[in-house]
Amino acid sequence: MNALRIGMVGLGTVGTSVWKNLRSQGELLAARCGKALRIEKVSEKNRERARLAGVPEAQMVDDWRELVRDPSLDVVVELIGGTGVAAELIRESLSHGKDVVTANKALLAEQGRELTAFAAERGKRLLFEASVAGGIPLLLALREGLIANEILSLHGIINGTCNYLLSAMTSRALSFQEALREAKELGYAEADETLDVAGHDTAHKAVILSALAYGFWPALYEVHTEGIQNVDPLDLHFAQELGYRLKLLAILRSHPKSGEIEARVHPTLLRKGHLLSSVRGVFNAVAVRGDVVGETLFYGRGAGGDPTSSAVLSDLASLARRETTAPSMVPSGRQVALTLRPMAEILSRYYVRFLVEDHPGVLAEIARIFAARNISISSVIQPEGHRGQTVPLIILLHQSQEADVQEACRIIETLPTVKRPAILLRVEDLDGEEGRSS
pLDDT digits (tens, 9 = 90+) for 361-420: 999 999 999 999 999 999 998 887 666 688 999 999 999 999 999 999 999 999 999 999
The pLDDT of 41-70, averaged and rounded, is 93
CATH assignment of 143-301? Answer: 3.30.360.10
- What pLDDT score was predicted for residue 389? 84
* Annotated catalytic residue, options 41, 98, 205, 247: 205
Q: Please determine, for residue 435, whether its predicted confidence score (pLDDT) is greater than 60.
A: no
Instruction: Single out the residue of 255, 264, 223 nearest to residue 150, CA to CA.
Output: 255
Instruction: Single out the residue of 58, 59, 126, 62 nearest to residue 92, CA to CA.
Output: 126
Report field, pTM of the whole predicted structure over 0.85: yes
Instruction: Single out the residue of 136, 131, 161 nearest to residue 227, CA to CA.
Output: 161
Q: Please determine, for residue 172, whether its predicted confidence score (pLDDT) is greater than 70.
A: yes
The sign of the CA dihedral 124, 301, 80, 203 is positive
- Among residues of the chain, what percentage have pLDDT more than 90? 83
Q: Please determine, for residue 325, whether its predicted confidence score (pLDDT) is greater than 90.
A: no
Task: Sort residue 306 into left (φ over 0), alpha (ψ -120 to 50) or beta.
Answer: alpha
Q: State which fold the 3-135+307-321 domain adopts.
A: Rossmann fold (3.40.50)
- What pLDDT score was predicted for residue 385? 64
Q: Please determine, for residue 432, whether its predicted confidence score (pLDDT) is greater than 60.
A: no
Per the model's pLDDT, the better-predicted residue between 196 and 321 turns out to be 196
CATH assignment of 346-432? Answer: 3.30.70.260
In the chain, the amino acid numbered 43 is S
Average pLDDT, the chain: 92
Separation CA 47–CA 52 (nearest Å): 9
Q: What are phi and psi of 166, to 5 degrees?
A: -65, -35
User: Is 205 considered catalytic here?
Assistant: yes
The pLDDT of 76-87, averaged and rounded, is 95
- What pLDDT score was predicted for residue 399? 96
Separation CA 25–CA 39 (nearest Å): 13
Separation CA 381–CA 392 (nearest Å): 9
Domain ranges of the chain: 3-135+307-321, 143-301, 346-432
Q: What is the pLDDT of residues 176-200, one digit of tens each?
A: 999 999 999 998 988 899 999 999 9
Q: Which helix (H) or strand (E) is 151 found in, with range?
A: strand 151-157
Q: Which residues touch 50 (CB under 8 Å, ≥6 apart)? A: 11, 42, 44, 60
Confidence of residue 134 (pLDDT cuts 50, 70, 90): confident
Q: Which residues touch 72 (CB under 8 Å, ≥6 apart)? A: 5, 40
Strands 423-428 and 3-9, by their bridges, are unpaired
Separation CA 406–CA 300 (nearest Å): 36
- What pLDDT score was predicted for residue 358? 86
**Residue 108: alpha-carbon gap to chain centroid:** 13
Q: Please determine, for residue 324, whether its predicted confidence score (pLDDT) is greater than 50.
A: no
Confidence of residue 287 (pLDDT cuts 50, 70, 90): very high
Separation CA 96–CA 90 (nearest Å): 10
Per the model's pLDDT, the better-predicted residue between 326 and 296 turns out to be 296
Q: Are 412 and 355 in contact (CB under 8 A)?
A: no
